[in-house]
Amino acid sequence: MAASIVNSLLGKLASYAYQEASRAYGVYEDLKEFKDTLSIVSGVLLDAEEKKNKQHGLREWLNQIQDICVAAEDVLGGFELQDKKKKVMKASGNTMVKVRHLASSSNPLAFRSNMAHQIKEIRGKLDKVAADRTKFGLVSVDPRLAVQGRETYPNVDASSVIGRENETNEIVNLLMQPHPHGDADGNKSMCVIPIVGIGGMGKTTLAKSVFNDKRMDTLFPLKMWVHVSDDFDIRKIIIKIINSATASFLTSSSTPSSGLAHLENINNLDIVQLVSCLKQKLSGQKFLVVLDDVWNDNRAKWLELKDLIKVGAPGSKIIVTTRSNSIAKMMGDVSSYDLKGLSPKDCLSLFVKWAFNEGEEEKHPNLVKIGKEIVKKCQGVPLAVRTLGSSLFSTFDTSKWEYVRDSEMWNLEQKNDDDILPELKLSYDQMPLYLRQCFHYFSLYPKDHIFDNYVMCSLWVAHGLVQSLNGSEKPESIARKYIDELHSRSFIQDVNDYGSLYQFKVHGLIHDLALYVAKEHFVVVDSHNRNIPPQVRHLSIVKKEAHGHALFPESRSVRSILFPIIGVGLENETVLNTWVSRYKYLHYLDLSDSSFESIPNSISKLEHLRFLDLSRNDKIRTLPNSICKLLQLQVLLLGGCTMLEHLPKGLGKLISLRHLIVTTKQSVLPYDEFASLIHLQTLSFHDCDNLKFLFRQKLPSIEELYLESCHCLESLPLNIFPKLQTLYINNCDKLNLLLNNESPMQTLRMKHLYLTSFSTLVTLPEWIVCAMETLETLLIMNLPDLKVLPKFPTIMTCLKRLYIVDCPQLLSLTSNTHLLTALEDLRIDGCPELCRKCLPQSGEYWPMIAHIKSVKIGELTGHEEE
């Protein structure tokens, strides 16, 4: 965890904004020296984390590093805050405000002197502690080079492979097929088939099962097995292929001794000689080679190896096993084989095999019954089943079985390197540090939680984990790339990409891994967990009765408090007052679903707050104007505050605000306040029952606009949002979408359009045509009177997603639907006649839509391709 804090701090110090600020305040050199020392410390932190359990002094050394970094974070936060105060003062133009500012401790001269003193003090502490690293013999370690996967081999006892018969047959059938892109001359005849899944899912076992299938002996005269792991060294891989080919030959040779001598001698060959030897072994041979456990994402290296081995006969195949979707895509010639978990029945069979001697389970039906409950926590992952079954082998004490059943996976002892959590941690260790520190935040949410990109992006951005080095790329865009990368590494699953909204889940064992690596600093508070460590930085409260006054530590290092479960919120205003006074460096405060009637004026003391969620507080009538002193606030969520009379005065001072959700009884919104929010990108209005109009003047920064259940809203002049990319409208009965925006038609930059629950809409608005060149997502849902779609013009070349749901009067697609060449995802449901016409193979519209990558018609039918 020290590494995460240090890396976050280094990211901030390297950013354009901090470098400019440090020069402006004359502390650039001091910060540079601090950064240089911190970089040296960063290099040995992985080694320190590995050794801390064996050296008590080392654990204390790490705690000191963390304390210094926390203090440095607070100091750097002062830079940002001072910069915001300057901007507000400049914008106010008020002479008295400027006089008060010059007389305060935050004026430039006083601030510069105070800041320089604090930085020198912290730098001195860091220099002293950093010098102590030599006492512990710490060395610099690259975590990605430190990964040591276990060596694998092709031998397998068929009786030990449980529940993979179908998967084995499917892979064998793939191997029997010709190259899908090969030609009559045999070009591209070598085909690569990737098997993908999280650690412990059984990819290697499946590959072994296929490798040893008797059908493979007939199909491939030459079979080779190579364990690759993280070291994608071309020379080493060539040697392994040659040795494996030689071993394959030796199984039928009557003179094995010469072959063994050859195995010993090729290590002395240079690369030219090795390549020549490789070609001799493979040329003209129809072969199968398994490249097991591949971590390399360097395409140039892969293409170099591929060119060397594609000298075999037509029909040669390569099986690749990997945990990474992106690696599978890079290497594969066909769609990845995504390996799923075992069935509950097969999991229990595997568990019994590892927990008992053969037949022994029949004597202990009570333990088998507990075992059925234990395997549920394994969620189909064979290695997890094996780990827990092995831990209970020859143990017949019911209490010990119940302990395993009732404990979280991450709390159970993992004795061996190939147990499930150490195995999964290999994937974690392979990630770059910026991804590892983002991954920790998944531990704050319950298992099976449905995440979305807005929540996770806001959380990461609030804590400075997303840094733009050039100052131009938006943090939301960078955070979205992080999510995509986590998906490619199989850390998230069940992804639904709706355009601007992106939902996903985290596998239960990956969630256990997050808890395992984030412990002490990330704590979930419930009725059972009442021991909160003093070094905690992030608190997640999942039970209503779990947030008593005396429960929380007095540490100044707390940065997050959140209630991740809808319906669970804060009921005690006294606790809120305690938090405000105690945790003045909070960055993220989620008070959703709380039940108090007011927010204290003292909320303004949380000067470093970036995120404030007051959603679904249905008792709050007013907000203190002091909330507008939170100059670093980036996200303010007021959705569902149905009793809120009006927005606080001075809203325009929130100059850092990027995302605002509003529920209010106001009928007129203060345009000047909104116009001052120059960084506001996402604006949402929910349940604003008295709101008839939005604005009549431009809000040039708005990129996403969401309108939901605003029943009196009558018009929406899109021309006031020149940068609008996302528009979502749901259940706004009186809104006339067919109006021509009270201005001549103009080109829109819109990328994502969602129109739902319009009871009287017969046709879609004409202005959609103005966005045809840029539109990527179009969703129309619950439009009971909709009878016709607009004719899609040939310029509509960007549309990737088209969703038509619950439009029963819609009977047909337009005749030129086949021209939507970029369309990747088509979903139609709740449209009986249209669904019938779009059925795969039999529907009259099927020829128009068969080219689309993913087609889902109704709940049960459809086809998907990669």
* Lowest mean per-residue pLDDT among 115-119, 134-138, 212-216: 134-138
Residue 619, pLDDT > 50, answer yes
| Distance of alpha carbon 104 from the chain centroid | 43
pLDDT of residue 108: 66
pLDDT of residue 141: 62
Instruction: Give the other-Cβ count within 10 Å of 150's Cβ.
Output: 13
Helix axes 56-92, 16-24, angle to 10 degrees: 70
pLDDT of residue 866: 40
Helices first, then strands: H and E counts in the chain: 28, 24
Spatial CA neighbour of 77 closest among 644, 656, 553: 656
Instruction: Give the other-Cβ count within 10 Å of 528's Cβ.
Output: 9
Query: SS3 for 800?
Result: coil
Q: What is the Cα–Cα distance from 317 to 190, expressed in whole angstroms?
A: 5
CB-CB contact of 631 with 608 (8 Å): no
pLDDT of residue 130: 83
Q: What is the Cα–Cα distance from 450 to 356, expressed in whole angstroms?
A: 37
Mean pLDDT score across all residues of the chain: 85
185 pLDDT band, cuts 50/70/90, is very low
pLDDT of residue 860: 44
- Structure confidence by residue, pLDDT tens digits, 648-667: 999 999 999 999 999 999 99
pLDDT of residue 646: 94
- The runs of H, that is alpha helices, within 93-225 are 95-103, 108-131, 143-146, 165-176, 203-211, 214-219
Q: Which residues contact 720 (CB under 8 A, 6 or more apart)?
A: 694, 695, 696, 697, 698, 699
* Lowest mean per-residue pLDDT among 129-133, 202-206, 777-781: 129-133
- The runs of H, that is alpha helices, within 628-733 are 671-675
Residue 530 token pair: 């009442």
pLDDT of residue 283: 92
- Cα-based distances in Å from 236 to 232, 233, 241, 438, 525: 8, 5, 9, 34, 49
Beta partners for residue 322, in sequence order: 196, 294
CB-CB contact of 413 with 370 (8 Å): no
E strand or H helix at 156 = none
Q: What is the Cα–Cα distance from 484 to 403, expressed in whole angstroms?
A: 37
- The runs of H, that is alpha helices, within 395-498 are 398-406, 420-430, 433-439, 453-462, 475-488
**Would you put residue 808 in left (φ > 0), alpha (ψ -120 to 50) or beta?**
alpha
| Distance of alpha carbon 317 from the chain centroid | 33
CB-CB contact of 562 with 539 (8 Å): yes
pLDDT of residue 616: 95
20 pLDDT band, cuts 50/70/90, is confident
625 CB burial (10 A radius; 0-12, 13-18, 19+): middle
pLDDT of residue 143: 53
- Cα-based distances in Å from 595 to 269, 394, 598, 621: 75, 52, 9, 12
Average pLDDT over residues 738-757: 75
**249-266 as b/e, with b when 16 or more CB fall inside 10 Å?**
ebeeeeeeeeeeeeeeeb
Concatenated DSSP letters for 759-774?
TT--B--GGGGGGTTT
Spatial CA neighbour of 290 closest among 355, 225, 346: 225
Among all chains, which residue has been given the structure tokens 């070094």? 535
Between 158 and 316, name the one with better pLDDT.
316
Residue 621, pLDDT > 90, answer yes
687 pLDDT band, cuts 50/70/90, is very high
11 pLDDT band, cuts 50/70/90, is confident
Average pLDDT over residues 4-25: 75
pLDDT of residue 257: 47
Residue 12, pLDDT > 80, answer no
Q: What is the Cα–Cα distance from 181 to 192, expressed in whole angstroms?
A: 12
* Lowest mean per-residue pLDDT among 11-25, 157-171, 225-239, 367-381: 11-25
Beta partners for residue 502, in sequence order: 497
pLDDT of residue 148: 53
pLDDT of residue 186: 44
Residue 695, pLDDT > 50, answer yes
Spatial CA neighbour of 776 closest among 804, 807, 797, 806: 797
**What does R_g of the chain's alpha carbons equal in angstroms?**
31
Q: Residue type at 56?
A: H
161 pLDDT band, cuts 50/70/90, is confident
CB-CB contact of 422 with 414 (8 Å): yes
pLDDT of residue 548: 59
Q: What is the Cα–Cα distance from 400 to 415, expressed in whole angstroms?
A: 16
Kindly compute the dihedral angle of the four CA atoms of residues 511, 516, 520, 522, in this order, to the nearest 10 degrees. -10
What angle is formed at CA 107 by the lines to CA 104 and CA 112, rounded to 5 degrees?
125
Average pLDDT over residues 331-347: 92
- Structure confidence by residue, pLDDT tens digits, 514-527: 998 888 889 988 86
Between 810 and 819, name the one with better pLDDT.
810
Q: Which residues contact 799 (CB under 8 A, 6 or more apart)?
A: 775, 776, 777, 778, 792, 820, 822, 823
pLDDT of residue 189: 74
- Cα-based distances in Å from 759 to 549, 740, 789: 49, 20, 16
Q: How far apart are the first and last CA of the chain?
A: 38
Residue 814 token pair: 């337009």
E strand or H helix at 279 = helix 271-282
Q: What is the Cα–Cα distance from 424 to 410, expressed in whole angstroms?
A: 11
- Structure confidence by residue, pLDDT tens digits, 253-304: 544 444 444 555 788 889 999 999 999 999 989 999 999 999 888 999 999 9
Q: β-strands 777-781, 861-864: how paired?
A: unpaired
553 pLDDT band, cuts 50/70/90, is confident
E strand or H helix at 213 = none
pLDDT of residue 547: 56
Average pLDDT over residues 147-151: 60
- Structure confidence by residue, pLDDT tens digits, 301-329: 999 999 999 899 999 999 999 999 999 99
Average pLDDT over residues 405-428: 74
477 CB burial (10 A radius; 0-12, 13-18, 19+): exposed
494 pLDDT band, cuts 50/70/90, is confident
Kindly compute the dihedral angle of the four CA atoms of residues 177, 178, 179, 181, in this order, to the nearest 10 degrees. -120
Q: What is the Cα–Cα distance from 279 to 281, expressed in whole angstroms?
A: 5
What angle is formed at CA 285 by the lines to CA 283 and CA 290, rounded to 5 degrees?
105
Q: What is the Cα–Cα distance from 336 to 196, expressed in whole angstroms?
A: 7
E strand or H helix at 464 = none
High-pLDDT (> 70) share of the chain, %: 88
Average pLDDT over residues 145-156: 67
pLDDT of residue 1: 62
Average pLDDT over residues 427-452: 90
66-80, 570-584, 608-622, 725-739: which is most confident:
608-622
Instruction: Give the other-Cβ count within 10 Å of 233's Cβ.
Output: 12
Residue 343, pLDDT > 90, answer yes
Residue 82, pLDDT > 50, answer yes
183 pLDDT band, cuts 50/70/90, is very low
pLDDT of residue 756: 94
Q: What is the pTM of this model?
A: 0.84
